[in-house]
Structure 1
Amino acid sequence: MADNSVQYTMKNMIQARGTLLPLPEVTADRSFLSLYIDRIGFKDTSSYLEPYLTISVKDENGKDLSSPQDTPISGHRSDACIHFGVQVHIQRPLESLLAGHAIVFEFKHYKPKKRAVSTKCWAFLEHDELKEGEVALELYKKPCDPKRKKLKLMSVKPLFLHLKLILP
């Protein structure tokens, strides 16, 4: 039992800091997308312990195109939003991202009764949506489907993941 709590503590410390990577070196033939993750909307933000997002780039078959990154745990909430205020740098050059790929965002939180991290919902950004500026992504029920074939909205209420895309 003590081993589980030690493992959870180490994992918890890593999640608290996140696993975000720096902006890769931009060259004349390589440019990279950065995402500013502002907030995610929920009706009861206080029920989510240690919330964070996992961001990954997937091909049309759901295969990872780069290593997933975790945001730090969010400590800022309002009545209807969990605020992140972090910038994520996609590690694949834009030139190598072909049509059919998507950037997938999984909202995760800790469930003390199960002593586990759970995915609450997910969202995605497709290749044709990569335009500089603000965007609000719909939230879908779990399980995450990176192939994007079986989509079920999480709620009929207007709840979104709010991002700002920064292109070179």
Structure 2
Amino acid sequence: MNKKAAAGIALAVNGQKRTVAGDPNRPLLYVLRNDLGLTGAKFGCGKGQCGACSVLMNNEAVRSCQVTLAQAAGKSITTLEGLGDIKTPHPVQAAFIAEQAAQCGYCANGMVMATVALLARTPEPSLDEAKQALAGNLCRCGTHRRILRAVMRASGRAQP
């Protein structure tokens, strides 16, 4: 076992410093879910293609199934749980609730995290920019229109 794994790897998750021991090549998704009990990020495809496991790393949406524990070291990680809660949801979460944008919930985490990242860099995106930002996230239920309405609602540019 290398020294980094034995000593643990320091992470900043949802504003809290955490130290995680173990294989530095283990996917961040497994660390978040299994070690830290943060289950908002879902295991979808395991190949970085569906977006269900998305988290924010330094305010950019990344696929946590493709990021290793070592790659996350020293970075700011935000999970769905770090955005808001049932009493005080993040504005994006509130918009998704208002638009009933989640049906089965498979894609919801990825869609929310991609939207938060989009609005951080483009506070008032066009509908086309929203579509492009979410293009890499799969939705099996077909709630794309509601999801896009939620994105536009969260940006303050509600669409009919």
TM-score by length of 1: 0.26
Going by fraction, where is strand more abundant, 1 or 2? 1
TM-score by length of 2: 0.26
